[in-house]
Chains A and B, each alone.
Chain A
Amino acid sequence: MIELHALHKAFGKQVVLDRVDFEVREGETVALLGPSGTGKSVLLKHIIGLIKPDSGTVIVDGKDVSKLKRRELSKFRSHIGYVFQNGALFDSMNVFENVRLGITDQEKYSDMDYCRQRIAECIRLVNLTPETIEKYPAQLSGGMRKRVGIARAIAGDPKYLLYDEPTSGLDPVNADIIDGLVQRLDHELGVTSVVVTHDVRGAFRVADRLALLSEGRIVMQGTPKEFLDSTNPKVKEFLERDFDNPTLAA
């Protein structure tokens, strides 16, 4: 379970997160919505300890992430898969080596037979062909890079998956493929997921619950139906552009 209590973060004079309370229960997929630049990615990076809060707490499975020591943090991170916005693949490594780095257990990482088998499995799970394994990030399309990023995140068999804008910069067809993939992985792997996105349609498709972040605060948390029925002006304003969208309405 992930719990954020009164989380506050400012960069200089700019307050990005203002006493945010946020919760993700075991096994569910929560989409964190909000316009660009409202601190969604900053919130996600707090969960994995890449950013430390100015005040407030981030509790994951009963542990306060900001108080974990170096080794504890490293061990804690091995249970979390993080999918970066642009893949964040290592340019100098091919797909095989990139995904292999996701195998966080050192014994398994050193066992090449296990690595080959696990990487092939992850590549198949994200709908990429086996030939992709030999390619370098520069030889892949944006959508393929995102899928390799997802393969790397799941390679260590994580308990939690954190997606940072998994569909941003993709055309609608590729965005649908990624959304379908997120949905399928959540069911097949039984992981708890947080999906940061500003794509309302995708969020409604993949999430059990939604949260809207605006001006550093969580405006609303609830099920997709509760969001559609909401009279909150900020929620309505954010959803408005997609209300006429037949896919969302369906």
Chain B
Amino acid sequence: MRLLVALGRWVLDGLSHVGRLSYFILDAARGLSEVRIWWPRMMIEAWNIGAGSLFIVMLISAFAGAVTALQTGYQFTGSIPYYVVGTLVVSSIILELGPVLTALILAGRIGARYAAELGTMRVTEQIDALESLGRSPASHLVIPRVLAGLVMIPALTVLANLSGVLSGWISVKAVLPVTDADFIYGAQYYWRPWDAYYSIIKAFFFAGSITVIACYMGFNTQQGAEGVGRSTTTAVVTSSILILVLDTVLTRLLLNQ
């Protein structure tokens, strides 16, 4: 019985969050007309996301590319043509590892930062202060962060893809007798331009889930420092799960038609 009550409460709580999140998004969208308010703030946020995350995103993607190449080398028996390694590395990075790893890193880096920033602003009444001055928290705080994420996270994903492919290319030459011509031939043989669009579309959806969830959690922070910690953790965990769910759904919708 207790389990049922707990389950019922969990479902109701979840539904209430869905409703509040929808209202939050609609309310934020109303602030889009205040371009002169959000544009300069968006540029600052875009710079913070881009410059601040570039190194870590490219580093992790480079390692992912290298490991993919080295594991491919380990599994090669000799009966498979060497050029296939180019296909494997490029496809793995662009279709999956580039966008998903970048999104998971940024859920930790950007999502945690946004939730903590806005959560602190909520508990120290800075958001109330903004409202009391007749200003829209959406155009000052939410829209710049969400739009900066929607622009910069796909851009970072493209760079992560390049870094991963480049690193995989260099690494595979260390373990297999693959020439540059073999690698390029393999990469081109199964290449479809749609793969690149798919990678960017995924990054765009991941960006939305990271920024919107983080802003929503930050805005709904309660109970001081403990609340800020709770919002930050919840934002990172929720957006990470959502990234994996979206990854599955988008793969089904965009690749398996």
Option from B125, B129, B134 in Cβ contact (under 8 Å) with A74 = B134
Q: Kindly report which residue of chain A lies nearest to residue B36, judged by CB atoms.
A: A110
Shortest Cβ distance from B128 into chain A, in angstroms? 5
Q: Kindly report which residue of chain B lies nearest to residue A106, judged by CB atoms.
A: B36
CB <8 Å contact, A88 and B129:
yes
Q: Which of B136-170 contact A (CB under 8 A)?
A: 136
- A70 contacts chain B at the CB level, 8 A cutoff: yes
Q: Which of B81-112 contact A (CB under 8 A)?
A: none
Q: Kindly report which residue of chain B lies nearest to residue A78, judged by CB atoms.
A: B134
Given the complex, which residues of B lie within 8 Å of A45, measured CB to CB? 128
CB <8 Å contact, A77 and B126:
no
Tally of contact residues, B, Cβ under 8 A: 15
Q: Which of A79-94 contact B (CB under 8 A)?
A: 80, 82, 84-86, 88-91
- A102 contacts chain B at the CB level, 8 A cutoff: yes
CB <8 Å contact, A88 and B133:
no
CA separation between A84 and B134, bound complex, in Å? 15
CB <8 Å contact, A50 and B134:
no
Tally of contact residues, A, Cβ under 8 A: 24
Q: Which of B119-135 contact A (CB under 8 A)?
A: 120-121, 124-126, 128-135
- B17 contacts chain A at the CB level, 8 A cutoff: no
CA separation between A102 and B134, bound complex, in Å? 9
- A104 contacts chain B at the CB level, 8 A cutoff: yes
Q: Kindly report which residue of chain A lies nearest to residue B136, judged by CB atoms.
A: A74
CB <8 Å contact, A75 and B128:
no
Given the complex, which residues of B lie within 8 Å of A101, measured CB to CB? 130, 133, 135
CA separation between A73 and B133, bound complex, in Å? 10
- Which of B124, B128, B129, B136: most chain A CB closer than 10 A? B129
Shortest Cβ distance from B148 into chain A, in angstroms? 15
Shortest Cβ distance from A44 into chain B, in angstroms? 10
CA separation between A32 and B174, bound complex, in Å? 77
- A120 contacts chain B at the CB level, 8 A cutoff: no
- B30 contacts chain A at the CB level, 8 A cutoff: yes
Shortest Cβ distance from B141 into chain A, in angstroms? 10
CB <8 Å contact, A86 and B125:
yes
- Which of B30, B128, B134: most chain A CB closer than 10 A? B134
- A156 contacts chain B at the CB level, 8 A cutoff: yes
CB <8 Å contact, A90 and B133:
no
Shortest Cβ distance from B178 into chain A, in angstroms? 50
How does the 8 Å CB contact mask read for A119-159 relative to B, with 1 for contact and 0 for none?
00000000000000000000000000000000010001000
CA separation between A80 and B120, bound complex, in Å? 24
CB <8 Å contact, A88 and B125:
yes
Q: Kindly report which residue of chain B lies nearest to residue A49, judged by CB atoms.
A: B131
CB <8 Å contact, B134 and A77:
yes
CB <8 Å contact, A82 and B132:
yes
Q: Kindly report which residue of chain B lies nearest to residue A92, judged by CB atoms.
A: B117
CA separation between A101 and B131, bound complex, in Å? 11
Given the complex, which residues of B lie within 8 Å of A78, measured CB to CB? 133-134
CA separation between A86 and B224, bound complex, in Å? 14
CB <8 Å contact, A156 and B128:
no
- A48 contacts chain B at the CB level, 8 A cutoff: yes
CA separation between A85 and B129, bound complex, in Å? 11
Given the complex, which residues of B lie within 8 Å of A70, measured CB to CB? 30
CB <8 Å contact, B133 and A104:
yes
CB <8 Å contact, A84 and B30:
no
Option from A75, A91, A104 in Cβ contact (under 8 Å) with B126 = A91
CA separation between A156 and B133, bound complex, in Å? 9
CB <8 Å contact, B132 and A48:
yes
Q: Kindly report which residue of chain A lies nearest to residue B131, judged by CB atoms.
A: A50
CA separation between A215 and B96, bound complex, in Å? 59
Given the complex, which residues of B lie within 8 Å of A74, measured CB to CB? 134-136
Given the complex, which residues of B lie within 8 Å of A102, measured CB to CB? 133
Given the complex, which residues of A lie within 8 Å of B131, measured CB to CB? 50, 77
Given the complex, which residues of A lie within 8 Å of B136, measured CB to CB? 74
Q: Kindly report which residue of chain A lies nearest to residue B128, judged by CB atoms.
A: A50
Shortest Cβ distance from B90 into chain A, in angstroms? 42
CA separation between A76 and B128, bound complex, in Å? 15
12 A-B interface contacts by CB (under 8 A):
A48-B132, A50-B132, A70-B30, A76-B134, A77-B134, A78-B133, A82-B132, A82-B133, A90-B121, A101-B133, A104-B133, A104-B135
Taking A78-B133, A82-B132 as known contacts, 16 extra A-B pairs with beta carbons closer than 8 A to each other, sorted by chain A number, are A74-B134, A74-B135, A74-B136, A76-B134, A77-B131, A77-B134, A82-B129, A82-B133, A88-B124, A88-B125, A88-B129, A90-B129, A104-B134, A104-B135, A152-B129, A156-B133
Q: Which 9 A-B pairs have the closest CB atoms?
A: A88-B129, A77-B134, A88-B125, A82-B132, A78-B134, A74-B134, A84-B125, A104-B134, A88-B126
